[in-house]
Amino acid sequence: MYSVVNTATIYGIDSKLISVEADISEGMPIFEMVGYLSSEVKEAKERVRAALKNAGYALPIKRITINLSPASIRKTGAGFDLPIAVAILSAIGIIECEKLPTICLCGEIGLDGKIQPINGVLSMAIEAKKNNFEVLIVPKDNLMEARLVTGIKSIGVENISDVIELMNEGKFEEQTVDMLGTSKFSEDEYDFSMINGQQALRRACEVAISGMHNMLMVGPPGAGKSMIAKCIPSILPKMDDKEQLELSKIYSVCGMFDERKGLIQARPFRSPHHTVSAQGLVGGGHNPHPGEISLAHRGVLFLDELTEFNKSTLEILRQPLEDKQVNISRASGSFTFPADFVLVAAMNPCSCGYYPDLNRCHCTRLSIQRYLSKISQPLLDRIDICVEAPTLNFAQISMKQKNESSEEIRKRVIACHEIQNKRYADYEFRFNSQIPSGLMDKFCVLTDQEIEYMESMYEKYSLTARTYHKVLRVARTLADMDLCSDIRLEHLQEALCYRGLDKRYWEEGI
């Protein structure tokens, strides 16, 4: 009167195998579940009991004990309903299946016995395949997602009676499913050809993506900062299969995966509202789930109205920006979520938005100072490119001309990325923005004339060692874009124009 069934639970963005044991013995009629369960897993008891009854199978009047092991992992999610039901049915002999040890299953059960879709099937399928299971039984609605993983038989089931029938027959054959649009690449909704004017800003975006530099746009309201930001994913190179799977896994765990489209192919663009909480941004919760920065993995994280964000929330970005991943430690364990994104931020120059136009701006110097100092220096230090976004006049907006499309820009970006990949093949980093300061002399070589120039600029702009290195990194990217092996004066000049918001604008001594 004992049986064991395999399933998996989400752990971070990966999955862990869980075995569900059922034991039915003489004693008081009790349905007991143990094994470090969260409340939604405990509720499975009631769902399973009702579902089995409605499917025509009464639970025996005996002592039923369910154990989910290993007991050290906290179990969350509704995916345990199906394995629990199968374990009980198998223990009481309704299901007799020899292949049970080679089957992994998951799914939520409704009171009528219907099997409901769950989150994170992709990740579970990957884990099941890794552990050499032959069959994966998932809710029918999750079938296409499970099929993205090849090498394991995925079977979709609609209700509990189907499962019993399937198991007793012992014939596990894959049904055919229609996949939608897997071959067709969805066109980007936003394209740089939609942007009129804003040459400087377009250029800055290209530079930023070419070297994977983080970027800050400063400009009055209505300058088109958000619009431009939305176009940025379209100039990023396409993701390879590994990256697509990685990203799809994150979205699947968060329940944001549209399985009909297959693996996610478009670079993500995440634009959280400025009221976002720290957990929402970097991930968290009792059982940590990925936050906005992980959803922006391999894509763009756009923070509009940067100054309106909670200061402590922004500070949390510092570590992920360095490490390209975020470590979250909770009582239930330590989780690592990938977070390799380009940060694009936008802000107004002051609270009314029009500084330095003194005819329209009515902010005092103190209020401008207060507004701008909402962003901490350490965060600004991680932003290599800072650019202003001016408002456009009517002629520029209504101009009907052919603008360069994202496709053309992307070609140049890819070429630039290839140069960098080749150059940094022996190193851990991949892009100019990540050159460690120790290797600056190796990759950013200046001639005497340029050193002299930078020396005079160093004093004029009161640069620091850190800002100087930032300028050099951007100059390196500019040189790569020009297919130049050496950094030249014009690259330094342009890079100087992109240097960060300077404290001297608002902390002017008298």
Partner 1 sequence: MDSVQFQYWFMKNEDISYGKKPKLIDYFYDSYNLYNASKSQLMATGILDEKTVDKFLEGKKKFDLEKEYYDFCNSPFSFITIESDSYPEKLRNIYDYPYGLFYIGTLPDFSRAVSIVGARRCSAYGKKIALELGEKLGEAGFTVISGMARGIDAYSHRGCLNSGGNTVAVLGSGCDVIYPRDNRLLYEDIVSSSGAVISEYQMGSSPVALNFPRRNRIVSALSDIVIVVEARDKSGSLITADFALEHGKDIYVIPGRIGDSLSTGTNKLLSQGAGIIYDIDGFINQLQDAYGQKTSVNKRPKEKINLTSEQKKVLSMFDEYPKSLATVLEESHMDYLKLISNVLSLERIGVLTEVFKNNYVKMV
Q: Which residues bind partner 1 (CB under 8 A)?
A: 197-201, 203, 218, 349, 355-359, 364-365, 386-390, 392, 396, 456-457, 460, 489-490, 493-494, 496-497, 501-502, 505, 509-510
Q: Considering beta carbons, is residue 106 or 223 the nearer one to partner 1?
A: 223
Closer Cβ to partner 1, 368 or 444, answer by number = 368
Rounded to a whole number of angstroms, the minimum distance from the CB of residue 493 to partner 1 is: 5
Number of H helices, E strands in the chain: 21, 18
**Which tokens go with 104?**
């992994």
What is the spatial distance between Cα 12 and Cα 58, in angstroms, rounded to a whole number?
Answer: 37
**Min. distance of Cβ 377 from partner 1 in angstroms?**
16
Q: Which is nearer to partner 1, 443 or 453 (CB)?
A: 453
Cβ at position 461, least distance to partner 1 in Å: 9
3-state secondary structure of 366: helix
Q: Shortest Cβ distance from residue 407 to partner 1 (Å)?
A: 21
Measured from the CB atom, is 117 or 500 closer to partner 1?
500
The nearer residue to partner 1, 4 or 392, going by C-beta atoms, is: 392
Residues 6+ apart with CB under 8 A from 434: 212
- How far is Cα 475 from Cα 167, in angstroms, rounded to an integer? 64
Measure the CA–CA gap between 122 and 245, rounded to whole angstroms: 9
Q: How far is the CB of 36 from partner 1 (least distance, A)?
A: 53
- Torsion angle, alpha carbons of 416, 418, 419, 420, to 10: 90
Burial classification of residue 274, based on how many CB atoms lie within 10 Å of its CB (0-12 exposed, 13-18 middle, 19 or more buried): middle
Tokens of 195: 């942007």
Q: Which is nearer to partner 1, 30 or 510 (CB)?
A: 510
Q: Residue 95: helix, strand or coil by DSSP? A: coil
Q: Give min distance, CB of 446 to partner 1, in A.
A: 16
What's the full length of the chain, in residues? 510
CB nearer partner 1, residue 117 or residue 220: 220
By beta-carbon proximity to partner 1, the closer residue of 198 and 432 is: 198
Residue 419 Cβ vs partner 1, minimum distance, rounded to whole Å: 19
Short-list 494, 471, 226, 179, CA closest to 217: 226
- Residue 432 has, within 13 A of its CA and on its CB side, a CA count of 32
**Dihedral angle over CA of 500, 504, 506, 507, nearest 10:** 140
Q: Smallest distance, Å, CB 510 to partner 1?
A: 4
> In 3-state terms, what secondary structure has residue 175?
coil
